[in-house]
Structure 1
């Protein structure tokens, strides 16, 4: 199904949410991996269509920029920590089905050797990846520099304090592909480590943390700009101590991740976050594990057994262990919970992550010259088609 076209691709008679305006009855031309042209159908001559590979779009559909998942461990039986080319290939092949066109492969707190193997594998994959699949943008290092008190599903035995030498070695092994690091700002050495990461172009995300308001402020002053899965595995709000949760809602310097599966965060708390942070500071993520897309059963996550049913994944003690959420479902849920606009959805699934990763010059919106990562959705926000760098990577029903 993943066809390579000999001519530029044209999609037409579709509502296009372009970067600076909407095209109510628009067309878009994808050529050599980029967006070549966008316009209204009224300006397109019928004979011009002969020059393109004309892909039929169902009526009353919307064209949105591809979604960017910056926090995902696995899907379809594969996990980042498998440390195999095949595992990352499976993830990149599966994700376009849910509208994801690029992502950060996310590690878990594990032994240094396991993390190193995963990083080397990701580096190798990135050098040889297929532009007809979802693009691996780099690595989200979730742990091991976190709080044992707020470990969540992260294996406690491998948690450690920030170590500059260790990180430098890991970054070398990844070929400088570690783009985002989740850490607890209150642990020993975290503030100095945050300054180092920020000075070297790495996003610092506060998470798996028991930090108080003052400790969060120190991290922000050091350059932290992100919060990992807000509300989960962090100090909560108290009327005498805002904690990391309250600080995240208050501080405009911080982007927040949200897992909108209705299990990790109550819908009303998602609405509260939306009212406080607005579309400009929210990034929707899946935090999904290898069980996503598979039947319920028992699965491995960082050497731990995870029980998965139709709606959630948990450790033996009931702790939530990642999710089985798709980006498509996250979008549907978030709009249901908040009544947000399509433009808001675009901001939270594409624009914000692209800006955080400093790749908005090529991703994050539909604009001439940007990567041809686009998705076709119907009125119910179901993904019908996904194009990765101009290649049809997924079409529903095929």
Structure 2
């Protein structure tokens, strides 16, 4: 069998076990063989065009970030090809191989611009040079004015099913996930519509009661955005949104594992409640990710970043994060205390399954795309591969 490249001497995390000293053979952008080093064919090894000895580092499936607003000075709300390429480049350098362009609450026109730009980027005949843009996550504007968080309250509106019908007709399959407040008028019908269109309905920025979230789950709600943040908390007589998310098996929970948004003990509690298949790591990163402290913007609102923590200038609410997926993975393993295998599932397999992409990516298995990240024992990204292609983050040569 013709092999393009072979990764050798890796701690390979598969869905079933970790191969302590393993190899991954890739051909035509896909994983063709995975196994212990002692089972590798010397003929395949000799014939491989590229042999990559990772010297005991981890081989993980590439990270899948379903909630990311920007990075390295760019925001998806900029709705430009340059911004999208800048964001996908930066987060790819941190191990993300698939992501959703996440909006903030804005005008219908501004959201339409993001959809148009994302669609154009995905359809570009030159392909995507860095992380794969899989679609769009609309965070708002159908959220609760009681829990705006860092969303601009000027643009919060009740659910508008006609907007969804218009956008899905114009851009079929582009919108992958939508965050709304299930308690708002018309939300349950909107959740049904989203489900019919193949869009994952998510609760977030919501004042829902426990009963309202359970009812929404019966109508198709499947996801909770940045659990604990911008939602009604847990109370022993009214479990609220958090209680419903923790106990409702139909809902997968996001968490921002940076130590600022949620206490590690609460992340651990959520991980135990949801199990290894029910939790999704996200960055919720804004344009400040990858840059230093300073003044930034998010959805037209002023943000100040100090010691890596982003907050609104007015009101002091947390305003997204400067987190990367490799940092989230490290935090889950080193601080929360989950295994590397479980953290990898939360960073890759679970979000891929939520997007319906698990046949193609999210785990290291024969036949899947060669979306891989090589991580050193001290959690440094050493190599990133998308569809078997090693990404280069060197600046282009001067003409």
| Pair in the same fold by TM > 0.5 | yes
SS at 2:334's partner residue?
A: helix
SS at 1:180's partner residue?
A: strand
Aligned residue number for residue 255 of structure 1: 252
SS at 1:101's partner residue?
A: strand
Whether the 8 Å CA contact 1:385–1:395 is kept in 2: the answer is no
Q: Is 2:84 the counterpart of 1:88?
A: yes
Whether the 8 Å CA contact 2:292–2:308 is kept in 1: the answer is no
TM-score, normalised on structure 2?
0.94
Q: Is 2:176 the counterpart of 1:189?
A: no
Aligned residue number for residue 120 of structure 1: 116
Aligned residue number for residue 105 of structure 1: 101
Q: Paired residue for 2:349, among 348, 351, 354?
A: 351
SS at 1:150's partner residue?
A: coil
Query: Which range is displaced more, 30-39 or 206-215?
Result: 30-39
- The 1-side partners of 2:237 and 2:272 are apart by 22
Deviation at residue 172 of structure 1 after TM alignment? 3.2
Aligned residue number for residue 3 of structure 1: none
Structure 1 gap segments, 5+ residues each: 1-5
CA RMSD after TM alignment: 1.9
Q: Paired residue for 2:52, among 50, 56, 64?
A: 56
Q: Is 2:71 the counterpart of 1:71?
A: no
Aligned residue number for residue 143 of structure 2: 146
Q: Paired residue for 2:201, among 199, 204, 228?
A: 204
Distance change in 2, residues 1:387/1:328 (3 Å): same
Query: Which range is displaced more, 374-383 or 75-84?
Result: 374-383
Distance change in 2, residues 1:48/1:213 (3 Å): closer
Aligned residue number for residue 375 of structure 2: 377
Distance change in 2, residues 1:361/1:47 (3 Å): closer
Q: Is 2:149 the counterpart of 1:155?
A: no
Query: How many residues of Structure 1 are paired with residues of Structure 2 in the alignment?
Result: 393
SS at 2:277's partner residue?
A: helix
Q: Is 2:373 the counterpart of 1:391?
A: no
Deviation at residue 394 of structure 1 after TM alignment? 4.9
Whether the 8 Å CA contact 2:9–2:53 is kept in 1: the answer is yes
SS at 1:384's partner residue?
A: strand
Aligned residue number for residue 328 of structure 1: 326
Q: What do the CA deviations read for 1:344-384 (whole angstroms, capped 9, x no partner)? A: 01210111111111111111111111010011111122221
Q: What do the CA deviations read for 1:3-60 (whole angstroms, capped 9, x no partner)? A: xxx9711111112112334332221122221112223222334454332233433422
Aligned residue number for residue 39 of structure 2: 43
- The 2-side partners of 1:363 and 1:56 are apart by 21
- The 1-side partners of 2:280 and 2:367 are apart by 24
- The 1-side partners of 2:41 and 2:216 are apart by 56
Q: What do the CA deviations read for 1:257-290 (whole angstroms, capped 9, x no partner)? A: 0000111111111111112112111000000001
Q: What do the CA deviations read for 1:301-357 (whole angstroms, capped 9, x no partner)? A: 111111112321111121110000010111111112321111101210111111111
Distance change in 2, residues 1:243/1:305 (3 Å): same
- The 2-side partners of 1:241 and 1:43 are apart by 56
Q: Paired residue for 2:365, among 337, 349, 367?
A: 367
- The 2-side partners of 1:195 and 1:58 are apart by 47
Aligned residue number for residue 137 of structure 1: 134
